Structure 1
Amino acid sequence: MDDVLILTTGGTIDKLYFDALSTYQIGDSVVDRLLQTARVKLPYRISELMRKDSLELTDADRAAIVAAAAAAPERRIVITHGTDTMTETARALAEVSGKTIVLVGALAPARFAESDATFNLGMAFAVAQVAVPGVWIAMNGRVFDGTKVRKDRTVNAFVAV
């Protein structure tokens, strides 16, 4: 199957902020709108799994993400995810074989004019089509082996380990 499955879990990419004190909630996913705006022609399917900040994800949530990826008929999967615990979920997804799974997020919400979300999502969509089976993280112009990466909070970026 050549389609791409996009699993949404929440994270900054879908955050809505309400005031200057950073009160937020995870809103409806913007993924479909971003892909339509980009005029993506490859068939894709979007499935919302949850709307959570990644710091709130539990082991049960990660198990649900793994189960959804494993059960999906698609071999190419993009997962939108918060960046704080993206690497933990990537390690959990390593047990899924025969699929190319790409985790992606944003450091600023997609609804912000100067967000990295659109670029990151486009990159993840491309990586899902060309990378060999495994778990990958696509963020800010780089692609990482999902099992050999960490988020460096001092520079607010992912780095290979």
Structure 2
Amino acid sequence: MSRPAEEIHVQIFSCGGTIDKVYFDAKSEYEVGEPQIATIFRTANVTFAYSIESLFRKDSLEMQVEDRALIRQRIEACSGRYVLLTHGTDTMPETACALGGIPDKVIVLTGSMTPARFQVSDAEFNIGCAVGALWSQPPGVYIAMNGRVFSGLNVRKNREAGRFEELA
């Protein structure tokens, strides 16, 4: 299905997480750096319009209720229909639940288990899957990870297996 050009704009909000981490030594000391999604989109030569706003640079384990409230506020305030949120994987389901009920928007959260700066990373694959979910899903909140699109309200991270799964 072809979409009018004015509809094809993605608002991206970056929150940090592993996808944007920069490691400095073998002891795994890190900081969350600049959003990597702009580099990934340039490399992939995407053909739709997008805007990127960095909300904060945090590991998702450091996120608080106030952070999720800010994310919700910024998503509600944006005029676009398509919202992509890069986010740390550890608390992605909690943020998805905090975004439930926002009308008329397709909101997709994604991230990675390894930093986008690494030569081998799941970041590009997950972002590509998330973009596909933006175009194919009805309004709602979703998590795109591990080659799957999950309802944001019915998913968990299985830390032992290193993947996301639907809740039973």
TM bin (shorter chain):
over 0.9
2:133 alignment partner in structure 1: 127
1:158 alignment partner in structure 2: 164
Question: In 1, distance between residues paired with 2:39 and 2:30?
Answer: 20
Q: What's the RMSD between the two structures over aligned residues?
A: 0.7
CA shift digits 1:72-125 (9 cap, x unpaired): 001100000000000000000003111000000000000001100011111111
* SS across alignment from 2:89: coil
- Taking structure 1 as the reference length, the TM-score comes to 0.98
Whether contact under 8 Å (2:12, 2:52) holds in the other structure is yes
Q: Which amino acid aligns with 1:3?
A: H
* SS across alignment from 1:79: strand
Q: Which amino acid aligns with 2:56?
A: M
Question: In 2, distance between residues paired with 1:72 and 1:143?
Answer: 23
Whether contact under 8 Å (2:101, 2:140) holds in the other structure is no
Question: In 2, distance between residues paired with 1:35 and 1:2?
Answer: 15
Alignment match of 1:100 (pick from 103, 106, 127): 106
- Taking structure 2 as the reference length, the TM-score comes to 0.94
| 2:30 corresponds to 1:34 | no
| 2:122 corresponds to 1:116 | yes
* SS across alignment from 1:98: coil
| 2:153 corresponds to 1:147 | yes
Deviation at 1:2, TM superposition (A): 2.5
**More moved, 118-127 vs 56-65:** 118-127
Q: Which runs of 5+ in 1 are unaligned?
A: none
Dislocated runs of 4+, deviation >6 Å: none
* SS across alignment from 1:121: helix
Deviation at 1:10, TM superposition (A): 0.1
Question: In 2, distance between residues paired with 1:114 and 1:91?
Answer: 30
Question: In 2, distance between residues paired with 1:85 and 1:141?
Answer: 19
